[in-house]
Amino acid sequence: MLLTVFCALRDRGETTFALEVSPELELRDFLALCELESGIPAGEIQISHVEQPLRDLTRALGNYGLKDGDVVVLRQAERRPAPQPSFPGLPRIDFSAISVPGTSSNHRSTTQAQNPRAAQTPHAASSPQGLDNPALLRDMLLANPHELSLLKERNPPLAEALLSGDLERFTKVLQEQQQDRAKREQERIRLLTSDPFDLEAQAKIEEDIRQHNIEENMTIAMEEAPESFGQVVMLYINCKVNGHPVKAFVDSGAQMTIMSQACAERCNIMRLVDRRWAGIAKGVGTQKIIGRVHLAQVQIEGDFLPCSFSILEDQPMDMLLGLDMLKRHQCSIDLKKSVLLIGTTGTETRFLPEDLYRTADNTDALDRQLNRALPTQKLQMEKLPHHSPHHSRFTDMFIHQPPPHLPLVLVEVLH
């Protein structure tokens, strides 16, 4: 029969393994198998089934009512000193009363007297070193910058209480988290030892396994691919529009090339804006489209390329080079060489390093917004009074995954 062993270890957390055993196998032999799998000495192993401890080492597992598919709980018992043989005529010596250099029996007895609840708590003695002493734990964390940084990342409430300098607050948060962890542990053990046909219990066990897999996946990712948790440097290039220098954001996911009104004024092309293309783009927010510049000259390195722009009123980014112009000039994004290749001319221009493109109007907040992936949205233009009745009809012109400050997708211009 196949038995699942859930281990609640004292210092190493929780683990689970399965053993294929015979119902005639005695408990002491089963403990030996568990020792091989868990690394815990057989003398410290306590096995329970359906919240009932198994104590008779010579009794077969089948006689305990264990059957195929059952779950047993393995707990690690406290280490107890070996009993001293009692010889008549020899005095009984209390070694705990002997003072050892570097320790204080008086301090220990005082601590136990001041905190009797900790002495009565079953898991207090099995807690890792320092967890039952908030002051010691605080000093250990403050003395280790690496552990402190991990605490800030993985446990912000406790890190905030630690850095506040208030020991009472730190102790309160620590105890609350320990109590919550103990309750979850008790609930998990209760579920594992409950009726295997209870749908609610099985659903909770499934969710617990799923959450454990997520945490394990994240831990592996942080170790093997830590760069996936960093901020991506966006792709900007230097160019000139109508002879004026502009830092353009290259976005192959945007279907249209756009420019802010402020940038268009600096480049002296507002006089070319066709306001018949004005409208309101709706999405997560709204953005006013002033109009369109049908043809302007963009200089990239030594190449002069024709380009059209949609001019937006409140766009914080100067210029976005979209897929329409990238395809028109057969551009390729080479991330290995960190260059933008213009296919029609063979010219290459390097993407700007982070320290250079931040010197312009591009801010950290803008980059954080650009890093957020938004689903493709279908938005619609609303006709403004500026529209000409002779304007042509366009469909399916949209911006894919726009930045959050510009959730615009141009679908059609209505008559």
* Segment 91-112, tens digit of pLDDT: 444 444 444 444 444 444 444 4
| pLDDT for res 239 | 95
Q: Which carries the bigger pLDDT value, residue 189 or residue 365? A: 189
Helices (DSSP H) in 53-193: which residue ranges?
105-114, 116-120, 134-142, 145-154, 156-163, 167-192
Report the Cα 56 to chain-centroid distance in Å. 47
Averaging pLDDT over each range in 77-86, 101-110, 287-296, which range is the top one?
A: 287-296
Average pLDDT, the chain: 74
pLDDT tens profile 317-365: 899 999 999 999 999 999 999 999 999 999 999 999 887 766 544 444 4
Residue 96: what pLDDT? 44
Q: Among 58-62, 241-245, 319-323, 389-393, which stretch is predicted with the lowest mean pLDDT?
A: 389-393
For residue 273, what are the contacts with CB-CB under 8 A and spacing of at least 6? 264, 290, 291, 292, 293, 311
Structure tokens at 240: 């000139």
Taking the domains of the chain in order of start, what are their residue ranges?
Answer: 2-76, 236-382
**Can you tell me the mean pLDDT for 194-214?**
84
**Band of residue 11 on the pLDDT scale cut at 50, 70, 90:** low
Q: Is the pTM of this model over 0.75?
A: no
Looking at per-residue pLDDT, the higher value among 42 and 130 belongs to 42
Q: Mean pLDDT, to the nearest integer, of 388-404?
A: 33
Closest CA to 366 of 312, 320, 313, 404: 404
- pLDDT for position 132: 67
Angle formed by the axes of helices 134-142 and 145-154, nearest 10°: 110
- Catalytic residue, from 11, 56, 132, 251: name it: 251
> Is-catalytic flag, 251?
yes
> Number of helices and strands (H, E) in the chain?
12, 16
Q: What is the pLDDT of residues 221-270, one digit of tens each?
A: 988 888 888 888 899 999 999 999 999 999 998 888 999 999 999 999 99
* Residue 411: per-residue pLDDT: 34
Q: Architecture of 2-76 per CATH? A: Roll (3.10)
Q: Cα-flanking dihedrals φ and ψ of residue 293, to 5°?
A: -95, 115
pLDDT on residue 302 = 92
Range with the lowest mean pLDDT among 71-80, 167-176, 376-385? 376-385
Identify the band that residue 195 occupies on the pLDDT scale cut at 50, 70 and 90: confident
Q: Which residue has the higher pLDDT, 409 or 320?
A: 320
Contacts 24+ apart (CB under 8 A), 290-299: 290/261, 291/386, 293/259, 293/264, 293/269, 296/241, 296/242, 296/267, 296/269, 296/272, 297/241, 297/242, 298/239, 298/240, 298/241, 298/325, 299/239, 299/240, 299/241, 299/243
Over residues 84-92, mean pLDDT:
45
Give mean pLDDT, residues 147-155.
83
pLDDT value at position 80? 55
Q: Which is the CATH superfamily of the domain at 236-382?
A: Acid Proteases (2.40.70.10)
**Which of 70-79, 286-295, 395-404 has the least mean pLDDT?**
395-404
